[in-house]
Amino acid sequence: MKCTFVVYRFDPAVDKEPRYQEYTVEAEPTDKILDCLNKIRWDQDPTLSYRYSCAHGICGSDALMINGRIELACQKLVRDFKTANNFVIEPLPLFRVIKDLIVDMEPFFEKHRQVRPYLISDEAPPETERLQDAANQGSFEPALRCILCGSCTASCPISRTNENYLGPAALLRAFRYLADSRDTDTVSRLAQLNNEDGAWGCKTMWWCTDVCPKDIPITKSIGQIKRLIKEEEKKKTAGS
Amino acid sequence: MNHQFDVVIVGAGLAGLRAAIELGENASVAVLSKVFATRSHSGAAQGGIGAALGNEEEDNWEWHMFDTVKGSDYLGDQDAIEILAQDAPRTIYELEHLGVPFNRTPEGKIAQRAFGGHTRNFGEAPVKRACYAADRTGRVILDTLWENCLQRGIRFFDEFQLMSLIIHDGQCCGLIAYELATGKLHTLQSKAVLLATGGYGKVFKTTSNAFASTGDGLAIAFRAGAPLEDMEFVQFHPTGIYKLGILISEAARGEGGILRNNEGERFMERYAPVIKDLAPRDMVSRCILEEIRAGRGIDGKDYVHLDLTHLGKEVLDTKLAEISGFARTYAGVDPVQEPIPVQPTCHYMMGGIATDADGRVITDSENTPFPGLYAAGECACVSVHGANRLGCNSLLDILVFGRRAGKEMHRFISTVGSINLPPSPEKVVADQITALLQSNGKENVGSIRAEMQEVMMDKVSVFRHKEGLEEALGKVRELKGRYRQISVQDKGNCFNRELLDAIELGYMLDLAEVIALGALSREESRGAHSREDFPNRDDEKWLVHTMFRHSTDEGPQVFFKPVTITRFEPKERKY
């Protein structure tokens, strides 16, 4: 069947302003949106640029806007949309557009690095594995689904108004290490997040959770960080 | 632009990152990747990583070694397999110490589950050997290693395409890379280069592999004089989603999933009475196609059913969540209620750049090293997988040998003085790009690629025979001729994907030729290489590694290298 794709185009070498270009694609209902973009690029217009790799929702390359909503192009099929086979494809919001659907993700990864995204432990590991309660591992298991696609942070209204806000993806990663019983850096991690650029920047608007292609309860995870901060403050008050 | 490092690593999957961590505090290291590091295809690995920890039931590394040897159909080098199996438990503990969030047993140890071809006591029954994090094991290991690299301050060149190796006086002393965002060429000078560029499943039409899996590192090393080994051995994973090839992990059968034909029969009971659905991949893929040929495909079509309905929602939601999502999204099937339609999909390349067990690229059958050039991971052939890789041995391979390559490069760089580059090393690459951009040839990259993938799938996949292979080889050579007439319409220098597609296609055509040539040469059936005109294994003539050397004028030249056999003499392979 015929599908119409209106695609955001911007080539910094040629265009002063972004423009929209229309393509007609012959597609099956089971085709991924990524398949349709590939058909445009391979058969009609090789100059169209976008990122992609695994094509089944695990590498996190191809988050973009489909009909005004943030999605992974490889995880949505033509049949998933009730828009009479009309599609508008745009780059992720929030980030600077480099070319067409490709955005500059460096600020996103900079926030990721800021939360010290690695296990910090002041205990020397044993010869074999450290023991960990299965329930503890399970408590942050949803956070492990994150593929760093940037959808949540791109959707976040706070990230748009405060450029220093860590944003949902980085906070989720912070939560993953805070919740991990093997990590002993809890106090300084919580101190880093105890401000408006950290966990308190989140105003519980649920956009991140709503757009997450891996169904991660991001807002709840940030809520857990807030709870841990409060518990830590109580401990301090009780101790003083 | 020029950069200098002690070591440059190409590829940011697990092999590359593990090597980088090994070197990070002792050397200046750069990791170059054509996709952003966390997009690397190691992240798509699902089911687990094998090690005889014995956390769930009795196990030992010698059983693991035996299973790997037998799984390889005796073509794997047993000295290397011994290293793999013996070093596996240490590798897992090391990952745990780095922070990998494995699933846990009720006692808090690393949880393990069954996987194809892994058995207790030399083949008696399946054993729980695969350590896992739900069905996203590769994803969490990739994230953890990448984040450890960030902690160590390792320099990443993300979205840089490897274009060529710089070889001077027989020594590899760096590489030329193309920056996707600007179209600029960069010269990275180094004492050692590690190729960790992964697989090349995109040579075939139906594959579980990513678009980036085009074998760039292999083709570039091959052209630079490094031999390729055992390239005819291509693994087709039994359970790709019908028509799409998206992987449904072997863990699904490890957790109790069953393959059924159109009569609802558990057909693997007939082919592998002891371990049934957990037989090795080469065998299960052949059995599925035999069932289809006998008219027992579902609805007379070329697929069978993978039945997980009896596992229950809880197991599917907690241990097989990703693949359950794939089934719902792409096949429109809820695995809690209905079986998943599956067929074999090109998944893994046993062959690769010939190396020794320390990641050194070798140049001949006497293991003479190629100074300064290293390879690890799927792009390399050590060989631990021989003619067929067992599930959950791939993550293990790339971590064990990634680390060993890192150690060996550390030793090597201390022996190298200053490096002299040849004059204008980037000129050949610059000329190649200019020629592509200025060409007004009539041929189209997309159609040549589609024809290559089609003929490789039809003639060089699970079942092969002489006429088909000759046809495929002829076709690939014809396509190589047409490739010289391609043109690129996008003349830009910012994320010019068309230019990269063209370059990658050149690499894939080289590899397709070698795969077809190897399959045609090897007149026997062994592991994943199944010749209908030579249905038996022939140890007298073919218990050897096939080696391929590049020759511009005469095409790839075949020679052989003996297989190392230490503990286990070749026997008939029954399960």
Full set of structural domains in chain B with CATH = 1-113+129-233+350-421+538-575 (3.50.50.60), 239-347 (3.90.700.10), 427-537 (1.20.58.100)
| Residue range(s) defining the domain that contains residue A146 | 106-239
Evaluate whether B304 touches B333 at the Cβ level (below 8 Å): no
Q: Which of B129, B136, B260, B281 is catalytic?
A: B281
CB contact under 8 A, A47 and B490: yes
C-alpha to C-alpha distance for B471 and B298, rounded to whole angstroms: 30
CB count within 10 Å of CB A4 equals: 14
CB contact under 8 A, B38 and A60: yes
Q: Identify whether residues A141 and A223 lie together within a single domain.
A: yes
In total, chain B counts a number of residues equal to: 575
- Residue B418: the pLDDT is 82
Looking at beta carbons, which residues of chain B come within 8 Å of A130?
96-97
Considering only CB atoms, A102 lies closest to which of B103, B212, B495, namely B495
| Nearest chain B residue (CA) to A100 | B495
A71 inside 8 A of chain B by CB:
no
Q: Identify whether residues A89 and A119 lie together within a single domain.
A: no
Specify the amino acid at residue B31: V
Q: What angle do CA B15, B17, B21 make, to 5 degrees?
A: 120
- Residue B363: the pLDDT is 96
Closest C-alpha among A163, A179, A166 to residue A208: A166
Tokens representing B431 are 């000329």
A52 inside 8 A of chain B by CB:
yes
Enclosing H/E stretch for B263? none
Which DSSP state fits B119?
A: E
Q: Identify whether residues A149 and A189 lie together within a single domain.
A: yes
DSSP string, B12-56: -SHHHHHHHHHHTTTS-EEEEESS-GGGSGGGG--S-EE----SS
Residue B497, phi then psi, degrees to nearest 5:
-65, -35
- A176-230 pLDDT per residue, tens: 999 999 999 999 999 999 999 999 999 999 999 999 999 999 999 999 999 999 9
User: Would you state the torsion angle of the CA atoms of residues B129, B133, B136, B137, taken in this order, to the nearest 10 degrees?
Assistant: -50
* Alpha helix (H) residue ranges in B351-496: 394-413, 427-438, 445-459, 466-483
- Single pTM value for the model: 0.97
Model confidence at A24, in pLDDT bands (50, 70, 90)?
very high
- Ramachandran region, residue B48 (left: φ > 0; alpha: ψ -120 to 50; beta: rest): left
- B234-278 pLDDT per residue, tens: 999 999 999 999 999 999 999 999 999 999 999 999 999 999 999
Q: For the domain that residue A82 is a member of, what is the CATH number? A: 3.10.20.30
- Residue A56: the pLDDT is 96
A13 inside 8 A of chain B by CB:
yes
Residue A62 has pLDDT above 80, yes or no: yes
Q: Identify whether residues A35 and A60 lie together within a single domain.
A: yes
Q: For the domain that residue A155 is a member of, what is the CATH number? A: 1.10.1060.10
Residue B446 has pLDDT above 70, yes or no: yes
Q: Identify whether residues A121 and A29 lie together within a single domain.
A: no
- Chosen domain end from A103, A125, A151: A103
Q: Identify whether residues A196 and A116 lie together within a single domain.
A: yes
Evaluate whether B11 touches B162 at the Cβ level (below 8 Å): no
- B212-240 pLDDT per residue, tens: 999 999 999 999 999 999 999 999 999 99
Q: Identify whether residues A112 and A213 lie together within a single domain.
A: yes
Helix axes B445-459, B497-521, angle to 10 degrees: 30
Looking at beta carbons, which residues of chain A come within 8 Å of B322?
58
CB count within 10 Å of CB B185 equals: 18
Sheet (strand B112-120) strand order:
B49-50, B125-131, B112-120
Which DSSP state fits B327?
A: I
Model confidence at A7, in pLDDT bands (50, 70, 90)?
very high
CB count within 10 Å of CB B552 equals: 6
CB contact under 8 A, A59 and B246: no
Q: Identify whether residues A162 and A90 lie together within a single domain.
A: no
Strands B185-195 and B369-375: parallel
How crowded is the C-beta side of A154, counted as CA atoms within 13 Å?
Answer: 27
| Nearest chain A residue (CA) to B131 | A129
Q: Identify whether residues A169 and A231 lie together within a single domain.
A: yes
Considering only CB atoms, A134 lies closest to which of B104, B143, B212, namely B104
A134 inside 8 A of chain B by CB:
yes
- B390-445 pLDDT per residue, tens: 999 999 999 999 999 999 999 999 999 888 899 999 999 999 999 999 999 999 99
- B488-538 pLDDT per residue, tens: 999 999 999 999 999 999 999 999 999 999 999 999 999 999 999 999 999
C-alpha to C-alpha distance for A121 and B318, rounded to whole angstroms: 28
Model confidence at A240, in pLDDT bands (50, 70, 90)?
low
Q: Identify whether residues A14 and A128 lie together within a single domain.
A: no
CB contact under 8 A, B210 and A53: yes
- Chosen domain end from A103, A134, A160: A103
Q: Please give the sequence-ordered ranges of beta strands (E in DSSP) within B266-349, or none if there are none.
A: 304-307, 340-349
Looking at beta carbons, which residues of chain B come within 8 Å of A183?
99
Please enumerate in sequence order all residues whose Cβ is within 8 A of that of B280, keeping only pairs 6 or more positions apart, or say none.
Answer: B71, B116, B117, B388, B390, B575
Q: Identify whether residues A125 and A233 lie together within a single domain.
A: yes
Tokens representing A98 are 């480099």
C-alpha to C-alpha distance for A16 and B125, rounded to whole angstroms: 67
How many Å is the maximal CA-CA distance in chain A?
71
Residue B285, phi then psi, degrees to nearest 5:
-60, -45
- Chosen domain end from A103, A122, A146: A103
Q: Give how far B432 is from chain A: nearest CA, Å.
A: 19
Considering only CB atoms, B99 lies closest to which of A99, A119, A127, namely A119
Q: In chain A, how many domains are there?
A: 2
B149 inside 8 A of chain A by CB:
no
- Ramachandran region, residue B459 (left: φ > 0; alpha: ψ -120 to 50; beta: rest): alpha
CB contact under 8 A, A53 and B497: no
- Please return the burial class of B435, using the count of CB atoms within 10 Å of its CB with bins 0-12, 13-18 and 19+: exposed
Q: Identify whether residues A91 and A40 lie together within a single domain.
A: yes
Q: Give how far A192 is from chain B: nearest CA, Å.
A: 17
A122 inside 8 A of chain B by CB:
no
Model confidence at B557, in pLDDT bands (50, 70, 90)?
very high
B526 counts as catalytic: no
Q: Give how far B9 is from chain A: nearest CA, Å.
A: 20
